[in-house]
Structure 1
């Protein structure tokens, strides 16, 4: 993202925003409500075009181009008439690819063995979200955008899902851009955290997270983790 600005009916949402995601990197964006985080995903996904600036992927200009990213929304958004397996295979079907054996392996890896032919209404919220993320992983795009995918889950289910996400990501190392309001989630998952200001959004601060990988759940209660949480919280409060 190079000097991206976006306004709606004279209301400026983004102001010359610039950042990047490296290959295989996990980057999280945090910011106050209404700071344009969802607008960013709409721009990256080609649903909107920026008023100015350039969106590039592997050097190619992507302004207004759709189909370049894999997207996991806040709600699982599974098609209710398709089974778990056929929801996961959807991205491949769009480009006339079928990788059913890999999909079944990923379903088993997610702890959903035996649910391949179940329908979304037969799954819990956490199970549906796992299916949604596997669908993103099985799509061919190199960048996955996650829009607060665990916001509807309780604290313990959220942590289980974070651990599962990290284990799957460590195996595949896709580039991930996450939007969340949850500071602990951002710290636990990310290589870098980008803090946005209030509207019109600019980048206030960027933090490189020092915790080694694979991440251990015990770091969440460490003094260093709590100090990082305090630092990012204060940065956000200053927005």
Structure 2
């Protein structure tokens, strides 16, 4: 069981007040997305969860234990792949497990095959396309031993079709073990397709302004993207979000 609780977090950098009384919860096995205007503090929130920053006020609890200032408590996938150029793709994928003292090479190879990287185990990052690098970073995050996963706009740099493929791969793999996920995106359609709940942040200093419970059943199929109900929900969330742009 893995739950995350963020309680009345505040964070500022000198005169720049970023987060104000921000609270949220991600339940065990839940996929929660965060939408908000550019510069609203979404990445700052992830840095707080990951222990890179400390809040000025409030607490961050993982399974009931405070993780403020503690690195290595979560698995994290940033906007860019951040692969080490001197390591092979397989070695990059295994990095999270390696840092925790255990490697499962067979599992890594199997997951690489699932995301279309079969045959590239011994290649180096410069030999991969942008989409393939993102897939490698995604596998690395999924294989990390931490049970809570933070994804920070991981597909934002991809073209529309590659992005949809990555979303479907993410869902197919996530469906197997239902890790708890906090996902940051600027894309309303992506948030609706992936999530159980969507949280909308206000402008800075950001707080949770609105919560939407996504009504679509799982497993999700891409056909729902073209339904009238999906469009209605997209419009509803767009109207909420547009107040803070």
The 2-side partners of 1:59 and 1:218 are apart by 38
1:173-184 equivalences in 2 (<5 Å): 173-184=178-189
Matched with 1:220 is 225
3-state SS of 2:166 partner: helix
Deviation at 1:172, TM superposition (A): 2.4
Establish whether residue 91 from structure 1 lines up as the match of residue 96 from structure 2.
Answer: yes
RMSD of the TM alignment (CA)?
A: 0.8
What is the TM-score with the length of structure 2 in the denominator?
0.96
Deviation at 1:163, TM superposition (A): 0.8
The 1-side partners of 2:213 and 2:53 are apart by 29
TM-superposition CA deviations, 1:2-45 (whole Å, max 9, x none): 00000110221101100011111110000011110010000000
3-state SS of 2:181 partner: strand
Establish whether residue 124 from structure 1 lines up as the match of residue 124 from structure 2.
Answer: no
The 1-side partners of 2:230 and 2:121 are apart by 38
Deviation at 1:108, TM superposition (A): 1.3
Matched with 2:148 is 143
The 1-side partners of 2:177 and 2:84 are apart by 25
Deviation at 1:95, TM superposition (A): 1.6
Matched with 1:15 is 20
Spell out structure 1 runs of 4+ moving beyond 6 A.
none
Matching residue within 234, 237, 245 for 1:232: 237
**Structure 1 residues 104-113 or 31-40, which shifts more?**
104-113
Matching residue within 19, 36, 39 for 2:44: 39
Structure 2 gap segments, 5+ residues each:
1-5
The 1-side partners of 2:70 and 2:181 are apart by 19
Deviation at 1:89, TM superposition (A): 0.9
